[in-house]
Structure formats: structure tokens, C-alpha cells
Structure 1
Amino acid sequence: MTLAILCSGQGRQHRDMFALTGDAPEAARLFAHAATLLGGGDPREFVRRESDETLHRNRAGQILCTLQALAAAAALGDAVPRGAIVAGYSVGEVAAWGVCGLLEATVTLDLVARRAEAMDAATCVGDGLVFVRGLSREQVDRLCERHGAAIAIVNPGGAFVIGGDREALGQIAAEARAMHGARVVALPVEVASHTERLAGAYVAFREALRLAPVLFPPSTGARILSGVDAAPVVSRETGLDKLAAQISQTVQWADCLQACVEAGATGFLELGPGHALSGMAADIAPGLPARSLDDFRSLEGVRTWLSRHVSP
């Protein structure tokens, strides 16, 4: 049986996001390393004490969400079966490289910090993202063309994340509501991720990746999917090219979930924070178990679920 591991993107950070992983001895060094990237503040205290605005700033958000995925993987250890399929949403794709063993965990955190810094440097003040559900791809394409925006992420069920400047996104949101879009929401993200507006960040991040020590193929036997085309990563250089390009290209997340199913996934576990990805997985594959770490009250509960649903 095959587990699909889903690594969350930023946007769902919350006060209790490290409730299961924060005290895991296997993850202690990761929290200590992340603290050095957050100005010396313990990430577990950081999420409890800082304002919502601070939690959702681009750099902090990317570090926190990546830390959660890496800490969860470390804490679960051998409970995660070999040969898992691993896919990551937005910055979660970098976390996925760490989870499956292509990158060492502290290196992954360092790269995420560099990624966020490159994105911030390339971002225009006022850029952001808006979520639209309930319109066709053609309708969304026309809205983007009319207002100089772009589709950042394609989610299942006719759901799209659109990137651009806030003025354009406000006009798109108003028109989408007038066209009876089922849900239109501005996202708490300060960059137009996965659009050409971040082309400069792609160049900087690709250079950082060029210097990164990568273990390919991963010793875990995991299969990792690329966000830009949902294809398995089959070589170091091609994989790194796509990982960098994802900053300024559309993420095909609906295709990634479908690729997990077609590759034989028999269950989904989202590492969090939040449960947006496991919810999408449940929608596209209702016959398969799909849970998020945030659904459980203890790591032992996660291990029990894994042993019942996806262990050999």
C-alpha cells in the first residue's frame, strides 16, 4: 500500500500548529535551527506570541510551514512507509524535498529562507493573491488577461489562486462575485507567487539550489512530484530547474493530486499546518482515507492511523 504525503503551503499558520511536533525529541534540532532564521525566537513561542500579521509575513510563513512538515516527518520516523509519494503545495514543494530525503532538513530550512528573501526582493509593494472558486478556466483566464494578473495555482474543483497587484485583484474579485463565483477570498500572502512577476526571484533561487547538496535518488525510496507539471522528479538537475521555476510559473496542484492517485496512492497524509490539501484529496478520491496532522490529538494517533490504512 502506498502513502501520499502532502506538504502544505503558507496561509494556514495558527497558534497551535506545533502542538504535536513541538515536544518531539526527533525534531528538537529543527526547531533550534529555525530559531536562528527567525531572529533567535523559538518557533513554538513565535506562533503563540506574534501577531497574525507577523505569522503571515512571507519569510516567517515559509519558514514556519516548512518547519512543520520537516518536524512531522522526523517525529513520525519509521511509521511513514518507504516508497511514499510526496507532493508539496507552493513552498511545500521545497519542504517535500526535505521530507523525502533529497535535501537534509536544516539545509531545506536555509533554502526556504533564501527563497522567501528572493521573492520579497522581487515583489512590488501591494502584490498578493486572491482565491476564486466557481468560475470556468476560460472565465478566469479572461479576467486575468483583462486586469494584468495571472493564475498562480490550479486547484481541483474549479478553484484558482490568482496573483497580481492588489488593485487588479480587487477588480477581479468584484467581477468574479458579479459572475456568481461561489467563493472569492483575498489570501493572507504578500507576494504574487507563481506568476511572472517573480521572474527575478526564480533566477536567485536557482543559483541557491545550484550550490545545495542533493541526495538523488532519495534513500527513502520516495517519489516526489514537480508542482509545475505533476511529473515525477527523475534527475537532480531537471528537478532543481522545476523547483526554482515554480516560483514564477503556475502550480498544477489538481494534476499533482490526480498523479498521486494514478501512481497508486492508497491514502493521503497532510503534514500541515491546516487541512486544505487533505480536504482536496478527499474530494478527488473520496474512496481513499485522507487526513491532516491537525486532525489528530497525538503523534501516536497518527502512527495508529498509518498502521491501519497505509502500512504494508
Structure 2
Amino acid sequence: MTLAILCSGQGRQHREMFALTGDAPEAAPLFAHAATLLGKDPREFVRAEPDEGLHRNRAGQILCTLQALTAAAALVDVIPDGVIVAGYSVGEVAAWGVGGLFDANLTLDLVARRAEIMDAATHAGDGLVFVRGLVREQVTRLCERHGAAIAIVNPGDAFVVGGGREALDRFAADVRAMHAARIVALPVEVASHTPRLAAASVAFREVLNQVPVSLPPRTGARILSGIDAAPVLSRETGLDKLAAQVSQTVQWADCLQACVEADATGFLELGPGPALSGMAVHVAPKLPAHSLDDFRSLQGVRAWLAGHLSS
């Protein structure tokens, strides 16, 4: 049986996101390192920080990466070798940590630096909107008309679109006029995965030049690149794609399909939130898919994994 692990992007941070991992002894060093980056213990940070601070770009990237890394550390005794790991947006950097390509503390340092670089390249008013119910050709034409860009392609005619505020407002007005099923502004103040961050990709690649990569990973994990859903087989090519992802479209629907084609028999989303496991159900309705948020305890996660992997 082959498990696909999904590492979430930012946007679903919540006050109880570390409820399962907060007391796990295996996760304690990660919480301590993240505290040096946030200036406060992350478990206290998510409970006390105002909503605006919780969703600020740098904090959000650190918190969501920490969620994936602490979950993987707490479940290391039941996660088998040879898993498939895919990450959504900043979750792709987390996937490199979960899959063993990056050291876990280094992974946290990298997402903090990534966020700082992205913030420095961001224009005031930049952001992302989610739209569902139009086909890709329609969304592409609207983006070209208004100076926006597709940031993420999700399953089921669902897209994340990025750009400046005026461009997104015009895009949203046309989408509503075309009676799309849903459009909503996301709590992100960066036009991630669009050409507006081309300079950030270049700067982040320079940072990645200096980092050690364990390839192939000791566990035999298969880590997927977000921009083309291909497995990471080469250090230089993998890092090129990881940096390019900052300013290029994430092909998330293709990543989920690649998990299926690699014989995944179930999905576990490390969270926060259940967005990715819900998309996995859309792509592979016959395969079990759960988020960490679906469980009340780590023992519940272990029991599900044991049952799934033995079936």
C-alpha cells in the first residue's frame, strides 16, 4: 500500500491547529526552533495573535510548514518508507522537509526567508482570489484581459488567481457576470505563483544555492514538484523548480493525479484544514482521504494508518 502525504498551504491557520502535535515529544525541538523565528512559542502564537497576524504572509508560511513537520515527526513511527509527498504552495517546501530532502529546522528557516523575499517583491494591494465554475480557457482569457494570472489550478474547474487589487476587482466583476459558482478573496496579501513575483523566484533560488539536499531521500519518498507534478530526481532541477514555483502556476490537479498514477492507495493531509484531502476525494473518490483535522488524537491517526496500510 502506498500512502500519499499532502502538505497544506497557508490560509487555513486556526487557533487549535497544534492540538494534536503540541504535546508530542518528537515535535518539541521544532516548536522551539519556530519560536526563534516567530518571537513566541507557536502554540501560544496561534491562540493569542489577532487574526491579521495569524494570516500575515511570513507567520502563515512558518505556521503551516511547522504543522506539516510536527505531524510528520509525531507520526514517524507509523509513516512507511516509499510515501509520495506533494505540497500546495508553501506546502511544497514543507514537502521537501517531510520527505527528507531538507533538514526540518532548515525547512523552517527557508520558508521564513521565502516569505521575506516574497514580501519584499510584493506591491501594495496584491492578493489572490478563488474562483470555481468556469473552465480554464475562460479564466485564462479573463486574466489576460485584466492583467491577472492563474496562480493555482485545482481539480473541478477551480482556480486561484493572483494580481494587483484593481486587476482582481475587474476580474471578479466579470466572473460574477458569468455566473461562476463561487468567487472569494483569500486572506493572502501576496500574488503568489504569478509573474509579479519573478524577482522573488530569482532571489529565492540564490538562497537555495547554499542549502544541503539529501537526494535520494533515505526513506525512498517520492516528492513531487508543484509546477509540473514530476518527481524530484535531481538537486539542481528540483531546486530550480522549487524557486520557480514562487512565480509560476502550481498545477495542483496534476499533482493529485500524479499521486494516483504512482499507485497511491490513500491520502493523508497534514493540515491545517481539510482542503487538500477534499480535493483528493474529487480526483480519486474511491480512495480514502483524511486530514489531520479529522482526528481527535494522534492515536486515532496511527490507528487509521495502521488499518489502511495493512488492508
Same fold (TM over 0.5): yes
Secondary structure of the residue aligned to 2:139 is: helix
Q: For residue 34 of structure 2, what is the aligned residue in structure 1? A: 34
Secondary structure of the residue aligned to 2:127 is: strand
Query: Structure 1 counterpart of 2:121, which letter?
Result: A
Q: For residue 215 of structure 1, what is the aligned residue in structure 2? A: 214
Secondary structure of the residue aligned to 2:265 is: strand
Q: For residue 135 of structure 1, what is the aligned residue in structure 2? A: 134
Q: For residue 71 of structure 2, what is the aligned residue in structure 1? A: 72
> Structure 2: any 5+ residue segments left out of the alignment?
none
* RMSD, matched Cα: 0.7
Within 2, Cα distance between the matches of 1:245 and 1:59? 19
Identity across aligned pairs (percent)? 81
Secondary structure of the residue aligned to 1:265 is: coil
Deviation at 1:311, TM superposition (A): 4.5
The alignment status of 1:202 with 2:195, answered yes or no, reads: no
TM-score by length of 2: 0.99
Deviation at 1:263, TM superposition (A): 0.3
Query: Structure 2 counterpart of 1:291, which letter?
Result: H
Q: For residue 52 of structure 1, what is the aligned residue in structure 2? A: 51
Indicate conservation of the 8 Å contact 1:3/1:267, yes or no.
yes
Within 1, Cα distance between the matches of 2:101 and 2:245? 17
Q: For residue 16 of structure 2, what is the aligned residue in structure 1? A: 16
Indicate conservation of the 8 Å contact 1:81/1:311, yes or no.
no
Task: Specify whether residues 119 and 298 from structure 1 end up closer, same or farther in structure 2 by C-alpha distance, changes over 3 A only.
Answer: same
> Structure 1: any 5+ residue segments left out of the alignment?
none
TM-score by length of 1: 0.99
Deviation at 1:128, TM superposition (A): 0.2
Query: Structure 2 counterpart of 1:116, which letter?
Result: A
Deviations for 1:126-177, whole angstroms, at most 9, x for unmatched residues? 0000000000111101110111000000000000000001111111112111
Within 1, Cα distance between the matches of 2:307 and 2:169? 46
Q: For residue 82 of structure 1, what is the aligned residue in structure 2? A: 81
Within 2, Cα distance between the matches of 1:121 and 1:310? 44
Query: Structure 2 counterpart of 1:148, which letter?
Result: G
- Structure 1 runs of 4+ off > 4 angstroms? none
Q: For residue 7 of structure 2, what is the aligned residue in structure 1? A: 7
Task: Specify whether residues 222 and 141 from structure 1 end up closer, same or farther in structure 2 by C-alpha distance, changes over 3 A only.
Answer: same
Query: Structure 1 counterpart of 2:109, which letter?
Result: D
1:1-312, aligned counterparts within 5 Å?
A: 1-39=1-39, 41-311=40-310
**Count of residues paired in the alignment:** 311
Deviation at 1:310, TM superposition (A): 2.6
Indicate conservation of the 8 Å contact 1:194/1:250, yes or no.
yes
